[in-house]
A and B are shown apart, each in its own frame.
Chain A
Amino acid sequence: MAKKILRINMSTLKASYESMPEKWARWAGRGLTSAITCDEVDPLCHPLGPNNKLVIAPGWVTGTPAAPSSGRTSFGGKSPLTGGIKESNAGGLSGQMIAKLGLAAIIVEGTPAQGKWYTLVVSKDGVKFEDAVNLVGKGMYEVDEILWEKYPKTAVIGIGQAGEMKLSNAGISVNDPENKPGRYAGRGGMGAVMGARGVKAMVIVDAGGPGVGIENMDLFKQGRKKLTESIQEHGLTKKGGALNSFGTAVLVNILNEAGGLPTRNFSAGQFEGAIKISGEAIAEVCEKRGGEGTMGHGCHPGCIIKCSNIYPDAEGKALTSCIEYESTWSLGANCGIDNLEFVAQMNRACNDVGVDTIEAGNAIAVAMEGGLLPFGDAEGALKTFDEIRKGTPLGRILGQGVEATAKAFGVSRVPVVKHQSMPAYEPRAVKGIGVTYATTPMGADHTAGYTICPEILGVSGKVDPLSDEGKAEASLTFQAATAFIDSTGYCLFIAFPILDIAKGWEGMAESVAGVTGMNVTGADVVPLGKEILKMERLFNERAGFTAEDDRPPEFMLNEALPPHNVKWTITNSQLDSVFAWVHDGQPA
C-alpha cells in the first residue's frame, strides 16, 4: 500500500493527505526529512519564521513486524541553533505509530493566530486541532500524563517550556513505553521550530491504521533474521552485553582513562570524579535502590538492545530516564560535577523543560568559566533549569545554547562547530571524530559518523589510528553510511554488530529491500548516503555556509589538552577534501 504525506497547515488549521511524489518515493527517515526540507524550505528563511517547516518521518522499516530496534523518528527542518539543515531523531513510541497510520511523513507548516497553542491529534480519521491552553506553561512530565488520561497508550510528541519560548536549545520529546519524556530529538533546536508552528503537542493514535506494507515478505524476514542474530551475538548489543548492562555511560571510564573525556569546558581530558558519574555507578544505584530503577530498559517496543536505564530516587521511584553517556558527561564532568544525584536531577530537568542535555551542560560549563558559578557547583547548576523554566533573562540566555552563553559571559573557549556544541569525545585526543565534528552538515555531532564495515565501504580497514592521513576519506564514508542508517528507522546502535558481523550488514540491507521493494544491497548504502549528504550540504551552502564553517573552534588549535598535551592537527585542506566531491573538487 502506498504511503501518504500528511500536511498540516497551522495558519488555516487544515490537514490534507497527499500521495507520495515520485521525487521523494525512495526516501524515508532522515533522507525524507532532508529531501522535503530542501524542496520546501527556503535556506535563507528565519528558522522561527513562517517559512520554516517541521518535517517528521519514520524510517523505512519502522512499524514493520519485529524488525529489531527500529523505532526511530526523524525530525527535520532548518535549525535555529545552526542556521543550517537539521535532522534529529528519537526513539520512543512515535515512529512505529506514525508508520502504522500509513504515513511516510508529516509536514507541519504555517503559523496560527498570535498566542494560540494547539495539540494535534493524528489518527486514521484525520487531524483534530485541540486548544492546548491546558498544557501551555507545563513541563513534559505533566504534559505526557495529561494527554494519556484522554488518549491512553498513544505516542505523545511535545515541547516543554523551552520550546514554547522558541529557545535555540529546545528539543522535541517523545514518550517512552512508561509514558515518560526522555526520548528526545534534542539537537539543533527543533523544539523551537515546533513551538513556532504553535504546536505544544501531537498525539499519534495508530488504532485502525493500515500498517506498513511489505513488498517482499520473504526477503524482509531473511534480512530481519540475520540482523537480529547479529545484534544478539555482538558483545556490545547482546543481552547482558555492555550496552544492556551499563548503557552508553559505560564509556565514561574508558574515555577518562584514555584522556579523551572533556572536562571543565574542554580544558582537560580527564576528570578525577569520572567513576562517580559512570555507567558502573548508575548500575550500582539501580541495584541498591531497586524499585523502578533498572538498567536494560527499552525505549520503544521491539528493541532488543535495551541500552536505556531508569534512574531511581532514594525511595526507588523513577526519577529520570535515560542517563546517557553524553548527558552524564555534559552535566557532570564538563561542569566539574561528580555528584550523580544532581546529574540525575538535571537530566530530569532537561527532559521536563525540554532542552538537549549536551547543549545544556555545555552552556552551564561555559557560564561557569565565565564566572556565573564555580566549576563543581551542583546545586547552582541545577537551579539554572528553574531559570529556563521561568523564562528569566539568564534562563533565556542559557537556553539559547553555548554560543549565546559564551557571548553573554565573555568566554572565548567555545566548543562548537556550526554553532552547535561538541559532544563527549575530545577531538584533540580522539582525532577521527574531530573530522566528523567539523564537516558534518549537522554541526558538531557524535552520531554523524558511525563506523560501518570497512570492507564494504571500500576503505582499507587498516587506517593508522595515529596518522591524520585517511581520516577525511574514512569520515565521509562513515557519514554516508550513517545517513543511510538514519533513514532506515533502525537505531544507530545496530552499527556496532553490522561492523563486526557480516550477516548483520546483509540483513540490514535485505530488510530495507524487502519492505520497500527497492533493489538495495550493501553496495548501495554509501552511494545513497552520499545523496542525502549532498542534499544537506547544498542546503547549507544556500543558507550561507562556506568552508570556513567546517573548522574546529579556534582554541583547539592553540591550547594543548592534558594529559597528552595535544592540539588539533588536522589541516584545513584535509577537512575541505571530505566534501570536495559535492562540486567535483571545485569550490562551492
Chain B
Amino acid sequence: MVLGEVSAFSQTIGCVITLYYLLVKNGTNKTMMIHVFLYGSLARFGGKRYVAQLDVELKPDSGKMELLAQIGIPKEERGYLFINAVLCEVPGMESGSNEPLNDGDHVGIFSVDRLWPYQYRDGIRMSDGLMKALAGRDAMHHSYN
C-alpha cells in the first residue's frame, strides 16, 4: 500500500467514524417527543379537568410502559389506550406488551370509566399484543373489569 493509498484509507475510516457519531450515536442520544391526549379523570395529569394535551419527552427506545410511568398514571385508572389510532389496551385488560414509540407519535389515553360498546369497536385496528390478550378470553364484551 503506497502512502497515498494509506492516506485515502485513513480518510475513509475517519469519515465512517464521523458519520457513525453524527447519524447513529448522536441520533440515539436525542430524546423523542410524544404527543399525548388524556381524557376523563386522567386529564388531571395534564392539569385539566376533562381533556389534557401534553408533549412528553422520552429517551430513545422507550415504549408505552415508559410513557405511562413518566406521566404517572396508575394501572387501575387506565382504560382505552391508542397509539397512532391503533387500540393497544382496553379497560381491565392490558396487552402485556410494551408497544414501541417513535418520535412524533400520538397517544390517546382514556380513564377507566370510558366504555366503548362492543358493536362499535368490532373490527377496529388493534395492536398484536392486545389481539393476543383478547384471543385468550371472550372478546365480545363491553367491559373486561
What residues make up the interface of A, taking CB atoms closer than 8 Å to B? 234-236, 241-242, 245, 250-251, 253-255, 257-260, 269-270, 275, 278, 280-281, 283-284, 425, 429-434, 436, 446, 449-451, 454-455, 459-466, 468, 471, 474, 478, 495-496, 499-500, 563-564, 566
A461's nearest neighbour on chain B, judged by CB, is B138
A257-B80, A270-B85, A500-B143 given as contacts; is B115 within 8 A of A280 (CB)? no
Nearest CB on B from A479, distance (A)? 10
Partner of B122, one of A236, A251, A431, A566: A431
The interface residues of chain B, by DSSP majority, are classed as loop
What residues make up the interface of B, taking CB atoms closer than 8 Å to A? 37, 39-40, 49-51, 80, 82, 84-85, 87, 91, 108, 110, 113-126, 131, 134-135, 137-143, 145
A258-B121, A433-B122, A466-B131 given as contacts; is B142 within 8 A of A280 (CB)? no
Please report the C-alpha to C-alpha distance between residue A478 and residue B135 in the assembled complex, in whole angstroms. 21
The 10 closest A-B pairs by CB, nearest first: A432-B122, A431-B123, A461-B138, A259-B85, A257-B108, A280-B50, A451-B118, A257-B82, A461-B140, A454-B140
A242-B113, A284-B49 given as contacts; is B138 within 8 A of A425 (CB)? no
A423's nearest neighbour on chain B, judged by CB, is B120
Contacts of A433 in B (CB 8 A): 119-120, 122-123
- Let me know if B50 and A283 touch, CB within 8 A: yes
Please report the C-alpha to C-alpha distance between residue A433 and residue B120 in the assembled complex, in whole angstroms. 6
Please report the C-alpha to C-alpha distance between residue A232 and residue B84 in the assembled complex, in whole angstroms. 34
Please report the C-alpha to C-alpha distance between residue A466 and residue B126 in the assembled complex, in whole angstroms. 8
Q: Would you list 29 pairs from A and B whose C-beta atoms are within 8 A, ordered by A residue? A: A234-B142, A235-B145, A251-B116, A251-B120, A254-B80, A254-B110, A257-B37, A258-B87, A258-B124, A280-B50, A281-B51, A284-B49, A429-B125, A431-B123, A432-B123, A433-B122, A446-B120, A449-B119, A451-B119, A454-B140, A460-B140, A461-B139, A462-B135, A463-B122, A463-B140, A465-B134, A468-B123, A471-B123, A500-B142
Please report the C-alpha to C-alpha distance between residue A454 and residue B114 in the assembled complex, in whole angstroms. 22
Given contacts A236-B143, A257-B82, A463-B122, 15 further A-B contacts (CB under 8 A): A242-B115, A253-B51, A254-B80, A254-B116, A257-B108, A260-B120, A280-B40, A284-B50, A430-B120, A451-B140, A461-B138, A462-B137, A499-B118, A499-B141, A500-B143
Q: Which of A242, A251, A269, A465 has the most chain B CB atoms inside 10 A of its CB?
A: A465
Contacts of B124 in A (CB 8 A): 258-260, 429-430, 465
Contacts of B143 in A (CB 8 A): 234-236, 500
- Let me know if B139 and A462 touch, CB within 8 A: yes
Contacts of A436 in B (CB 8 A): 119
- Let me know if B120 and A425 touch, CB within 8 A: yes
B111's nearest neighbour on chain A, judged by CB, is A242
Please report the C-alpha to C-alpha distance between residue A259 and residue B87 in the assembled complex, in whole angstroms. 10
